[in-house]
Amino acid sequence: MTDNRWFVRSILTIGLVLIGLVPAVANAQQATTVSGQVKTSVGGAPLAGVLVSRYGERTLLVGGLLLQAVAMAWIGLIARPDMAYVDLVAPLIIAGFGAAAIPAGQNAVVSAVAPSEIGKASGVFNMLRQLGATFGVAILAAVFASVGGFGSAQAFSDGFAPAMGVAAALALVGAIAGMGLPSQHKAAVAPAQMRA
């Protein structure tokens, strides 16, 4: 029998993190043109892999979520009907670097269990990721619909800005929850302790 405390702690923390991270990413990708964010995310992913080995999952995940929160809040603050795309480039690049940290969450989950339990851990992680996306989009759509609409560019901006503010708040909550992840040293020791 293995000790699943690290797995349970990591998976619950990652669940809270994803509920904060996924809505922010989903909202940014669906509501704006995100070529800068996608390029940065794809380009930043290999760097994130190196950084997670050096600094640990918690540092990278919390940092990525904080970048997401900053980017979503920035977009929400500058959103207006006549905004030029160039005004979105900087916050979308920041959001892209934040999104590049997403694999750190899965790494934290699968490294917290014995090798024979990686499939189960990955399945639970992906289920929570899907739930985060579902609830996140629903929450942001409700915020948008309560104060905005599609009747005019101004009505769209009136709903979009508060939805981005909520996305930023959710990413911030995820970053705070991410602080509950074990440190790099503890996560590396946990699987060895489980096998003993």
Closest Cα partner for 57 from 106, 92, 128?
106
Between the CA atoms of 125, 11, 136 and 99, what dihedral angle is there, to the nearest 10 degrees?
-70
Backbone angles phi and psi of 124, in degrees to 5 = -65, -40
DSSP state for residue 116 in the 8-state scheme: G
- What is the CATH code of the structural domain delimited by 5-195? 1.20.1250.20
Q: Locate 18 and state its tokens.
A: 């994803």
Is it the case that residue 37 has pLDDT exceeding 80?
no
Instruction: Quick: pLDDT tens for 162-182.
Output: 999 999 999 898 889 888 877
Please tell me the total number of residues recorded for the chain in this structure. 196
- Tell me the pLDDT of the chain averaged across its residues: 74
Sketch the domain layout of the chain as residue ranges: 5-195
Mean pLDDT of 177-193: 60
Q: What is the pLDDT of residues 54-86, one digit of tens each?
A: 777 788 888 888 999 999 999 999 988 888 888
Residues of the chain with pLDDT > 70, as a percent, come to 66
pLDDT of residue 189: 41
Q: Is the pLDDT of residue 29 over 70?
A: no
Q: If you average pLDDT over residues 104-118, what whole number do you get?
A: 80
Q: How confident is the model over 114-146, as pLDDT tens digits?
A: 888 888 888 888 888 788 888 888 898 999 999
pTM: 0.70
Task: Using alpha carbons, select from 98, 91, 90, 85 the residue that is nearest to residue 23.
Answer: 98
pLDDT score recorded for residue 49? 61
Rounded average pLDDT over 88-101: 83
Other beta carbons less than 10 A from residue 77's beta carbon: 13
